Structure 1
Amino acid sequence: MTFYTYDYLKNSQSNWQYGRIIIISLLAVVFILFLIHYLRNRMDIKYKDLSIIVATLLLLVLAMQYNDFSAIQSSSKQTGQITSTVKQVAERLHVRPKTISVNSTNVNANLMVKTPDGFYRVDYNPAGTGFVLERVELDSQSNIKVEEAE
Structure 2
Amino acid sequence: MNFYTLDYIVSHQSLDSTRRVVAVIVLLVVALAFSALYLRNRAQTRWRDAGIGLLVLSLVLLGIQTEQYFRVSHQYSQSQMLVHFVEGIATDHNVKVEDVLVSSRSLQDGMIVRFNEEDYTVHLNDDNNSYTLERTHIINHAVYVNGEH
| AA matched with 1:138 | H
CA distance in 1, matches of 2:66, 2:48: 27
Instruction: Compute the displacement of 1:119 (Å).
Output: 3.1
| AA matched with 1:87 | E
Aligned length, in residue pairs: 149
Instruction: Compute the displacement of 1:38 (Å).
Output: 1.3
1:1-150 matches, within 5 Å, as: 1-125=1-125, 128-133=128-133, 136=135, 138=137, 142-148=141-147
3-state SS of paired residue (1:3): strand
Instruction: Compute the displacement of 1:85 (Å).
Output: 0.5
CA distance in 2, matches of 1:132, 1:98: 21
Q: Percent identity, please.
A: 25
What is the TM-score with the length of structure 1 in the denominator?
A: 0.78
CA distance in 2, matches of 1:18, 1:105: 18
Give the unaligned 5+ runs of structure 1. Answer: none
CA distance in 2, matches of 1:126, 1:25: 40
3-state SS of paired residue (2:105): coil
Instruction: Compute the displacement of 1:35 (Å).
Output: 0.5
Q: Deviation per CA, 1:8-30, whole angstroms, max 9, x where unpaired?
A: 32233421221111111111121
CA distance in 2, matches of 1:20, 1:104: 23
Q: Deviation per CA, 1:106-125, whole angstroms, max 9, x where unpaired?
A: 32332322124533444545
Give the unaligned 5+ runs of structure 2. Answer: none
Instruction: Compute the displacement of 1:60 (Å).
Output: 1.4
Instruction: Compute the displacement of 1:127 (Å).
Output: 5.1
Instruction: Compute the displacement of 1:144 (Å).
Output: 2.7
Choose 113-122 or 67-76, whichever is displaced more.
113-122
Choose 124-133 or 1-10, whichever is displaced more.
124-133
